[in-house]
Amino acid sequence: MVELDERIITEAIIHRFFEKLRANLDVDVAIVGCGPSGLVAGTLLAEAGKRVAIFERKLSIGGGMWGGGMLFNEIVVQESALHLLQRFGIRYVPYRDHYYAADSIEAVTSLARAAVQAGATIFNTVTVEDVVMRPDRVIGLVINWTPVEMAGLHVDPLAIHARFVVDATGHDTEVVRVVAKKVPGKLNTPSGQIEGEKSMWSERAESLTLENTREVFPGLYVAGMAANATYGGPRMGPIFGGMLLSGEKVARELIQRLSDP
């Protein structure tokens, strides 16, 4: 038996982590937020051979999916997104007509496993605090450790470059907020600013999530709940089809954009 050496354990972690970080200094797509929309987008882009990094502020990934509705850990998905439950191997049961229920823990773990195994790199406990800009375009992200943010420490961040950034930060729409405030130019919204999320209306919210998934500023796309919050759509509650479909749509559009000359 070889005696375990604490220094080798430490060295392995440091070596592997910095390899991962270095490999993601320049990516095709940088996704902010590791909720359902970010995870679906990350998986499909990585499966298409794109270099994808996903940054998540929290230690845990999965965003608002773990808690189902009011901590009852089940989610509901409608017929139009059933193919995505199937694609990610998430088991479901039909409920009345056209509704499907799934265990939220199985949903998050299946999406996360798919994303990592497809080749997307997830950086958890990393907060995106700003973007990297060039004249009229977003070209990357400014990142820092979440504990630095939590402790209010004055520590300069680091930065990465990306051909496209996706704001999948949910209700807070944090990347779009920074761009609206600090990057010259206007958002591609009716007012040129963030329209703001509206109160709950599940049917309308689900279709608008898909419609609102698009490029909101050169180099910056919005997906998931962030898309509705940006374009003034309502919230939808614990139905998740729109989130999954939004991730699918942004991936499809970016695969196309990335193949443009």
Q: Which residues pair with 187 in a beta bridge?
A: none
Nearer to ligand 48F, 31 or 139 (CB): 31
Q: Which of 179, 243, 251, 254 binds ligand 48F (CB under 6 A)?
A: 243
- Binding segment for ligand 48F (CB under 6 A), chosen from 6-14, 19-27, 54-62, 131-139, is 54-62
Nearer to ligand 48F, 50 or 57 (CB): 57
How far does CA 127 lie from the centroid of its chain? 12
Site string for ligand 48F, 143-182 (x = CB under 6 A): -------------------------xxx-x-x--------
Does the footprint of ligand 48F cover residue 63 (CB under 6 A)? yes
Q: Could you tell me which of 73, 31, 102, 27 has the C-alpha nearest to residue 247?
A: 31
Does the footprint of ligand 48F cover residue 56 (CB under 6 A)? yes
Nearer to ligand 48F, 28 or 206 (CB): 206
Does the footprint of ligand 48F cover residue 221 (CB under 6 A)? no
- Binding segment for ligand 48F (CB under 6 A), chosen from 7-15, 113-121, 188-196, 234-242, is 234-242
Q: Where does this chain bind ligand 48F (CB under 6 A)?
A: 32-38, 55-58, 63-65, 127-128, 168-170, 172, 174, 224-226, 235-236, 238, 240, 243
